Amino acid sequence: MAEPVLALQGLTKAFGALKVTQGVDLSIAPGELHALIGPNGAGKTTLVHQISGTLRADAGRIVFCGQDITHLPPQKRARAGLARTFQITSTIASLSAIENVALGVQARSAHPLSPFRRAADDEALNTPAWEALEAVGLAARAHAPAGSLSHGEKRALEIAMALTLQPRLILLDEPLAGVGHEEGEKLIELLQSLKGRFAMLLVEHDMSAVFALADRVTVLVYGGVIASGDPAAVRADPAVRQAYLGEEV
């Protein structure tokens, strides 16, 4: 069996007496889309913060592509190929779509950007930026200000920015949040088209998206894993139904 892209070993985090992450073990295989689900307050976003490095774990280990990254800062994790999107879009509204992506390319490389040139006019940045926009279906919107994009398009733009990191793993924190049905379907198709190119950890409340996309599902409740496995087995698990899914399935 191939070495996991990501392995969490006994990951623990508490805020005072409140244990938000309780000894979480989780592994993601190369090319796998792994969904992390659970009720509000289960600790999903806190776990993603620990994986990305924006929050330090109290105990446990994070192993990424065979390297212990438990104590690495976020920027070094990103340069190693650990990318992330956020619940709230983090694009620069005044810049065009391609300028946002080109800046992402520049942030990863040692290639200096002249203060007298726009990021999207620099060919070394422009070419991979165009490739990323094409991969997410936004090439036709390349020169539109990011602020003018629809909510779903902004989500796709964030994914394009993540692609510029040449990721081994992308953390997707509720990409369908606030997106309408039609755009949600497009985002599901986009994620389906990217499956296999790299691993993905998908945090999502939309169960139809989860069960349409996921190779494996882990259920987090009160900071602890109560089930993990293939979607059909997790969906049928009585403990999962009682704790979270209920009538949603």
- Domains in the chain, start-ordered, CATH in brackets? 1-81+167-249 (3.40.50.300), 91-166 (no CATH)
**Contact in structure between 34 and 201 (CB atoms under 8 Å):** yes
What are the pLDDT tens digits along the chain (249 aa)? 679 999 999 999 999 999 999 999 999 999 999 999 999 889 999 999 999 999 999 999 999 999 999 999 999 999 899 999 875 567 889 999 999 999 878 766 655 545 445 555 667 778 899 999 999 999 999 999 999 999 999 999 999 999 998 899 999 999 999 899 999 999 999 999 999 999 999 999 999 999 999 999 999 999 999 999 999 999 999 989 888 766 454
Q: Tell me how far apart the alpha carbons of residues 222 and 214 are, in angstroms, rounded to a whole number.
A: 22
pTM over 0.85: yes
- For residue 47, give the nearest of 25, 77, 30 by alpha carbon: 25
- For residue 77, give the nearest of 59, 45, 108, 52 by alpha carbon: 52
What does the pLDDT read at residue 134? Answer: 96
Q: Tell me how far apart the alpha carbons of residues 44 and 8 are, in angstroms, rounded to a whole number.
A: 13
Token duo for residue 173 = 């924190």
What does the pLDDT read at residue 131? Answer: 95
Torsion over CA of 85, 169, 60 and 23, rounded to 10 degrees? 70
Q: Tell me how far apart the alpha carbons of residues 216 and 200 are, in angstroms, rounded to a whole number.
A: 11
What does the pLDDT read at residue 249? Answer: 45
What does the pLDDT read at residue 174? Answer: 92
Q: Tell me how far apart the alpha carbons of residues 79 and 68 are, in angstroms, rounded to a whole number.
A: 14
- Report how far apart, in Å, the C-alpha atoms of 116 and of each of 32, 68, 90, 108, 113 are: 42, 40, 25, 20, 8
Strands (E), the chain: 6-15, 18-28, 33-37, 59-64, 67-68, 82-85, 169-173, 199-203, 216-221, 224-229
Token duo for residue 37 = 């689900």
What does the pLDDT read at residue 87? Answer: 55
For 64-73, which contacts have Cβ atoms below 8 Å and span 24 or more sequence positions?
Answer: 64/5, 64/6, 64/168, 64/169, 65/3, 65/5, 65/168, 66/3
Token duo for residue 216 = 């494996």
